[in-house]
Amino acid sequence: MLLDERCLLQNPANEQQRAFTHVFTFGPTFRAENSQSRRHLAEFYMVEAELSFTESLQDIMQVMEDLFKTATSTVLSKCPHDVELFHKYIAPAQKGRLEQMLKKRFVTITYSEAVEILKQASQAFTFKPEWGCDLQTEHEKYLVKHCGEVPLFVINYPYDLKPFYMRDNEDGPQHTVAAVDLLVPGIGELCGGSLREERLPFIESRLQRLGLADAYQWYLDLRKFGSVPHGGFGMGFERYLQYILGVDNIKDVIPFPRFSHSCLL
């Protein structure tokens, strides 16, 4: 079922969309930050999926892995000439790496484990790894390499690091939320997702602390008048193309790249 849950959620009358337990959308997304790098665009395409009736982050991760492997297998089998062109001239060893990746299970570590791995690394990082700080691209690439150059799930991020709608793990001093990022070799973060906070008192408390309760009253109404445990994720399509084709710059995998200050009038 192709639905844009974000639009549906703005109207409590449309809460019946929960009858469709798996919904997705694929379309353009706009980036707020002014990031002009090989990994960022001002406008990019994203596959977004939501699953109802789940209280397990593992369910979200399984869909991520299945989507990634199914899409990659399909591209390799249906578009061999296009892919081989890139693998011949851009990334000669990429086809073999992809075929090996499809045979392996993705690795999972917690955010806390990731920080400890980074702290014990022999190499120096531009950004010092500390618990409570976001993982940078250099950290993500090192973690993937450390774990055997296979796609890597990092789960359970600090509570204060993630958006208000992510589910509270209620796990003591190191307060975390049920969030997950999928990191892939050479790229870093490809997918980001979480379980969503469906418990009204939890979401009310957090929005009040952030001073967002009035702006997100419509969101509170959804929880007040009924919801179900659910979660979801987004996958950047251009980053996905970068990985499977072995392209270094994200601007080379989109026909008309848009980046800050590139719109000439």
CA 85 to chain centroid = 28
Give the tens place of pLDDT for each residue, 20-36.
Answer: 778 899 998 887 667 66
The domain 5-252 is classified under which CATH number: 3.30.930.10, 2.60.40.1180, 3.50.50.60, 3.90.950.10?
A: 3.30.930.10
- Quote the CA–CA distance of 199 and 170 in Å, as a whole number: 12
Does the CA dihedral 111-45-88-248 come out positive or negative? negative
- Which pTM value belongs to this model? 0.87
The string of pLDDT tens digits covering residues 57-111 is 999 999 999 999 999 999 999 999 999 999 999 988 888 899 999 999 999 999 9
Q: How many CA atoms lie within 13 A of 32 on its CB side?
A: 0
pLDDT in tens, 98-154: 999 999 999 999 999 999 999 999 889 999 999 999 999 999 999 999 999 999 999
Map out the domains of the chain as residue ranges: 5-252
pLDDT class for 18, splitting at 50, 70, 90?
low
| Torsion angle of the four alpha carbons 206, 208, 213, 219, in this order, in degrees rounded to the nearest 10 | 20
Q: At what angle do helices 111-119 and 137-146 cross, to 10 degrees?
A: 90
